[in-house]
């Protein structure tokens, strides 16, 4: 569990993080998205105890990152954007060294070593020096290093940087397999990656947190509608009237209509579309044959939220 409350961080007179608050619960994968220099890496470094906040508080599993920094370090796995591995060491020896530094020994060290080697796909480079590995393999070694002690909280800064497409897909599946009892927070510039694996998105710009929620929730706040294509067993005229009577901002566009069945495209700006349609059909006694959500473009959502934020900052 990560809890960040009203955190600020200065570099000299420059305010890098301004009054940021959020949490990440076990079982969640949360993505941190923002322009370069927005404050993403700084927040991750504060959670990891590499930096101390100048105001506010951060706790990991109930432990304060300032007062209990050693305990916090023992419970997290941190994968920074740049590799911090010893390039002159062999990969296998490096990982065992990190495991021993984490207090692992004997069968536990062997079990965890075998797990990260297999999960991160680094069997082929175990006997190479870290510095001799390709950039993609170095990233995977860095991931293995951050997981060797099987932490309950995982922090990753641009985890797919340098990975090829197949490696990216493998990492996505691996993170999903990890999330059941872990809190995972990562930063990324790759919107497709965020949509593919995250449960929630944090959008940060100019040091301030602008949005926290699912992609659908954030899109609704930005005024970008959720759109679905559905087939409903209902008389088209009655369905059209029911959609018109909805008070939740739904708009229906009939793609095709026949006797007792309608194929309709529905959009809504403030989320909750599935619940609205299911309730409407339940009350009327209609059946939903299919309900297909059109994927939201996170890049458009992100750009709109940042644009509005920049406009507000200019006005102020």
CATH number for the domain that contains residue 277: 3.30.70.1340
Tell whether 184 and 203 lie within a shared domain.
yes
Tell whether 199 and 236 lie within a shared domain.
no
CA dist., res. 225 & res. 7, Å (int): 32
Show the domain range for 13: 2-219
Tell whether 147 and 270 lie within a shared domain.
no
Q: Is residue 40 part of a domain?
A: yes
Task: To the nearest 10°, report the CA torsion of 136, 138, 141, 147.
Answer: -80
Q: What is the pLDDT of the chain when averaged over all its residues?
A: 87
Asked whether residue 89 carries a pLDDT value surpassing 80, the answer given is yes
Tell whether 88 and 111 lie within a shared domain.
yes
Cβ partners under 8 Å of residue 157, min gap 6? 40, 41, 44, 79, 80, 81, 186, 187
Do 217 and 225 touch, CB atoms closer than 8 A? no
CA dist., res. 136 & res. 144, Å (int): 13
Tell whether 159 and 20 lie within a shared domain.
yes
Average pLDDT over residues 300-314: 76
Q: Is residue 305 part of a domain?
A: no
We report the CATH number of the domain holding residue 147 as 3.40.50.300
Percent of the chain with pLDDT over 90: 48
Q: Is residue 306 part of a domain?
A: no
Tell whether 267 and 232 lie within a shared domain.
yes
Average pLDDT over residues 214-237: 82
Tell whether 43 and 150 lie within a shared domain.
yes
Q: Is residue 301 part of a domain?
A: no
Q: Is residue 165 part of a domain?
A: yes
pLDDT for res 84: 74
Q: Is residue 309 part of a domain?
A: no
How many secondary structure helices (H) and strands (E) does the chain include? 11, 14
184-197, pLDDT tens digit by residue? 999 987 777 788 88
Residue with tokens 């067993």, as numbered in its chain = 233
Tell whether 42 and 150 lie within a shared domain.
yes
Average pLDDT over residues 215-229: 80
User: Strand 226-233 to strand 261-268: parallel, antiparallel, or no bridges (unpaired)?
Assistant: antiparallel
166, 192, 219 - which closes a domain? 219
Do 89 and 97 touch, CB atoms closer than 8 A? yes
pLDDT band for position 271 (cuts 50, 70, 90): low
219, 238, 264 - which closes a domain? 219
Q: Using the CB atoms, write b or e for 196-232: b if 16+ within 10 Å.
A: ebbbbbbbbbbbbbbbbbebbbbbbbbebbbbbebbb
100-131, pLDDT tens digit by residue? 999 999 999 999 999 999 999 899 999 999 99
pLDDT for res 153: 95
Domains: count for the chain: 2
User: Strand 183-187 to strand 153-157: parallel, antiparallel, or no bridges (unpaired)?
Assistant: parallel
Tell whether 211 and 232 lie within a shared domain.
no
Do 198 and 175 touch, CB atoms closer than 8 A? no
| Widest distance between CA atoms in the chain | 73
The dihedral built from the CA positions of residue 175, 176, 177 and 179, taken in this order, carries a sign that is positive
pLDDT for res 314: 66
Tell whether 57 and 130 lie within a shared domain.
yes
- Ranges of beta strands (E only) in the chain are 2-11, 14-24, 28-33, 55-60, 63-64, 76-79, 153-157, 183-187, 200-205, 208-213, 226-233, 251-258, 261-268, 287-293
Cβ partners under 8 Å of residue 47, min gap 6? 2, 4, 58, 60, 65, 76, 155, 185
Q: Is residue 248 part of a domain?
A: yes
pLDDT for res 83: 75
Which of 124, 111, 104 has its CA nearest to residue 167?
A: 124
Secondary element (H or E) of residue 217: helix 215-221
Tell whether 39 and 163 lie within a shared domain.
yes
User: Strand 200-205 to strand 28-33: parallel, antiparallel, or no bridges (unpaired)?
Assistant: parallel
Tell whether 284 and 136 lie within a shared domain.
no
Q: Is residue 308 part of a domain?
A: no
């Amino acid at each position: 569990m990560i809890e960040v409350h009203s955190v600020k961080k200065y570099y000299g007179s420059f305010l890098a993080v301004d009054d940021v608050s959020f949490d990440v619960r076990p079982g969640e994968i949360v993505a941190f998205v923002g322009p370069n220099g927005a404050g993403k890496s700084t927040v991750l470094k504060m959670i990891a105890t590499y930096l101390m906040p100048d105001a506010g508080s951060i706790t990991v599993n109930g432990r304060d990152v300032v007062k209990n920094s050693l305990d916090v370090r023992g419970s997290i796995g941190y994968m920074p954007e740049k590799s911090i591995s010893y390039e002159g060491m062999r990969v296998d020896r490096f990982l065992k060294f990190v495991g021993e530094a984490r207090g692992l020994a004997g069968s536990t060290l062997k079990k965890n070593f075998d797990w990260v080697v297999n999960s991160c796909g680094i069997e082929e480079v175990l006997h190479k020096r870290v510095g001799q590995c390709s950039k993609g393999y170095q990233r995977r070694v860095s991931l293995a290093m951050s997981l060797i002690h099987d932490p309950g909280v995982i922090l990753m800064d641009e985890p797919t940087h340098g990975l090829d497409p197949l490696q990216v897909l493998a990492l996505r599946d691996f993170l999903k397999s990890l999330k059941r009892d872990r809190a995972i927070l990562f930063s990324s510039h790759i919107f497709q990656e965020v949509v593919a694996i995250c449960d929630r998105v944090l959008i940060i710009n100019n040091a301030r947190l602008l949005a926290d929620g699912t992609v659908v929730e954030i899109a609704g706040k930005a005024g970008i509608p959720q759109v679905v294509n559905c087939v409903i067993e209902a008389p088209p005229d009655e369905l059209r009237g029911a959609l018109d009577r909805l008070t939740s901002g739904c708009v229906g566009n009939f793609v095709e209509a026949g006797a007792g069945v309608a194929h309709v495209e529905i959009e809504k700006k403030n989320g909750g579309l599935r619940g609205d349609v299911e309730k409407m059909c339940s009350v009327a006694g209609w059946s939903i044959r299919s309900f297909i959500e059109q994927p939201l473009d996170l890049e458009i959502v992100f750009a709109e939220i940042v644009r509005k934020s920049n406009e507000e900052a200019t006005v102020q």
